Amino acid sequence: MRLARAVDGALLAIAVFIFLFIVLFPFYWIVLSSFTPKYELFTIPPRYWFSTFTLENYQVLANSIPLTRYFVNSLLFAAGSSLVSVAAAFLASYALARIQFRGANLIFIVFVMSIALPQIGGLVPLFELFKNTGLINTYHGLVILMSSLVLPFTIWILVPFLRQIPYEIEEAAIMDGARLPHLFWFITLPIMRPALVTMFIINFIIAWNELIYPLVFATSGSNKTLSVGLVELAVQPTAGGGRPWDLLSAMSIVMIVPILIVVLLFQKLIVSGLTRGAIK
Amino acid sequence: MQRTRRIAILICLLLLPSVALRLFTAVYPFFNTIWLSFHDWNPAFPPQQFVGLKNFQALTRDIAVTGSISFTVLFVTISTLLEIVLGMAIALILHRAFFGRGVVRAINLIPWAIPMVVAAIGFRWMYDTQYGVINDLLYRTIEVKVPWLVDFWGARAAVIATNVWKSTPFVGLVLLAALQGVPQDLYEAGRVDGTNRVSAFFYITLPLIMPQIVTIGLFMVVWQLAAFDLVFAMTGGGPGFATQVLAYRIYQVAFTALNFGYASAISMVLFIVVGIASIIGLLLFRKVEVSL
């Protein structure tokens, strides 16, 4: 019996170790490459440890592309999209969860089902529409697109969340003659705060990582995001056909560090938000 | 009467921002794509011309499109199966009690949270035939080197493996939550009846969480059918058309070849594939829910 438990514990330890190795090794490799001088990246066999530690890759990167500009753009794009989607979903979820009316459930289902419409399938009409309305290469144009993309999932999470909160407090406030803006601001908003913060964080991460919309609708440089800058660096033709792995590694690190901070700070909230949709 | 009307107006106002956003960026483009798929349209030569089924006839003879359909289906099927099996394994590991479990669970979130383009580029570097670390590790252990991204099946395997690496932890996370929802007393009862751990998994756990498995499976299928970032940043569809997927083909035809009508016809194929997958998924879901 004790032997069986020891074997069991050892197997579990091995499984955890393999899992951690597979998940973390690519990160280690990108970090290592980003701090290694270019000429040492192309050696056979590759070096598995920091041999000549250097920040040069980051300096060259910052000098060859408008890195700060891209970073700020990504930040504004992600924060703006996240804010608009959560605000719109908050209003809609109040109507769908709190006001009893015929068709509320149908509208909810249609919203959720629209997740299945592939984003890429609507690019051509959207491109024409945005060109004709002057929304192309604008910040608010990108925010409209992105907030709409994450909206169905946000509504999917917020409506059940609001439905499971007892209505009594809001009812009492209405009895006391609270007007709707007051009700929203002082009662409903604080009650829903955990869910709203969670969805803001999740949508922020999704928007930060988004590629297609900025790639197609931010063609003029001043609105490009980190994701666009990164793929431009990765697909542009280079002399000899090789890729600038030194710069690509450095830029990857610049792009994932903010996300890692967000994940580590808000791990519990993110997990609760991501799993609430699947588990009732 | 006055009251019901005021409530109706209130409902409309509350729904307005969300409905407007979805109409503007999802519903209108969807219907316009259907319309455009029956037209010839190059934005550089403006007039749209109605051409009937010409675009659809052309795509049945276009190897770049038919090839991308078959690889998309292969990519999604193998990816989803692997993600569910390996995700289940991750969930079972993270469900056990061990020292440092909280940290390991946090680490499990990281592949989900990073951009797909970063995963694609990182793995592209690691899969490099000459200088890549994967070939070096393979060479050290079994003395082979694989020309990953320049070989037809090597590139396909590499793209699918990268996708599975990125997406499996998310599936594991959802399945872990499903495991936590299984009542403990069922296992107690099983233990009294003398079931071992393996049969407890197959006869208690698996049937109970089957609805969640089907739900996440359906979600992953629909989502990955439209996958774009990975192929765009990792292989560009190559070598040849080996790793060409529908979403990337649509993008190229629309924004490199500027053939808007044809791109819309390929989009229709994507809509239809997504529709078929959704219907199969919903039927499957109904079946496992009823059988509970």
**Beta-carbon separation of B93 and A43 below 8 A:** no
Least confident of A85-94, B35-44, B169-178: B35-44
Q: Least CA distance to B130: which residue of chain A?
A: A44
The whole-number pLDDT of residue A240 equals 55
Digit-coded pLDDT (tens) for A113-154: 888 888 998 999 999 999 999 999 999 999 999 999 999 999
B49 located within any domain: no
The whole-number pLDDT of residue B198 equals 85
**Beta-carbon separation of A263 and B113 below 8 A:** yes
Number of domains chain B contains: 1
B142 located within any domain: no
Could you tell me the CATH number of the domain that includes residue B59?
A: 1.10.3720.10
B229 located within any domain: yes
- Look up residue A236 and give its DSSP letter: S
B16 located within any domain: no
When CB atoms are compared, the residue of A107, A114, A227 closest to B26 is A114
Q: What angle do CA A132, A133, A139 make, to 5 degrees?
A: 125
Measured in degrees and rounded to the nearest 5, phi and psi for residue B57 equal -65, -40
Report the pLDDT averaged over residues A253-261: 95
| Cα B87 to Cα A10, A27, A227, B198, distances in angstroms | 21, 20, 27, 17
Q: Where does the pLDDT of residue B81 fall: very low under 50, low under 70, confident under 90, or very high at 90 and above? A: very high
Is pLDDT of A237 > 80? no
Single-letter amino acid code for the residue at B107: I
Tell me the two tokens of residue A115.
């997740």
**Beta-carbon separation of B26 and A117 below 8 A:** yes
Digit-coded pLDDT (tens) for B85-111: 999 999 999 999 899 999 999 999 999
**Beta-carbon separation of A123 and B250 below 8 A:** yes
Tell me the two tokens of residue B195.
């079931």
* A143: contact with B, CB 8 A cutoff: no
The whole-number pLDDT of residue B72 equals 96
B274 located within any domain: yes
The whole-number pLDDT of residue B291 equals 66
If one compares B37 and B185, the residue with the highest pLDDT of the two is B37
| Enclosing domain of residue B84 | 54-115+161-290
B145 located within any domain: no
Residues of B with Cβ-Cβ distance to A43 under 8 angstroms: 131
**Beta-carbon separation of B15 and A107 below 8 A:** yes
Digit-coded pLDDT (tens) for A151-177: 999 999 999 889 888 888 888 888 887
B21 located within any domain: no
Is pLDDT of B119 > 80? yes
Which residue, chain included where needed, has tokens 């200088």?
B131
Residue A155, C-beta contacts closer than 8 angstroms, at least 6 positions apart: A89, A92, A93, A96, A108, A111, A112, B18
Rounded to a whole number of angstroms, the distance from the CA of A107 to the nearest CA of chain B is 10
| Cα B270 to Cα B29, B79, B116, B244, distances in angstroms | 14, 18, 21, 14
Which residue, chain included where needed, has tokens 């800058």?
A229
What DSSP element (H or E) covers B144?
A: none
* B236: contact with A, CB 8 A cutoff: yes
A-B Cβ pairs (cutoff 8 Å, strict): 260
Report the pLDDT averaged over residues B234-240: 87
**Beta-carbon separation of B22 and A101 below 8 A:** no
Query: Could you tell me if B55 and B262 are in contact, meaning their C-beta atoms sit under 8 angstroms apart?
Result: yes
Which residue, chain included where needed, has tokens 């409905």?
B19
**Beta-carbon separation of A144 and B25 below 8 A:** yes
Which residue, chain included where needed, has tokens 């990182």?
B122
B219 located within any domain: yes
The whole-number pLDDT of residue B186 equals 82
Query: Could you tell me if B156 and B74 are in contact, meaning their C-beta atoms sit under 8 angstroms apart?
Result: yes
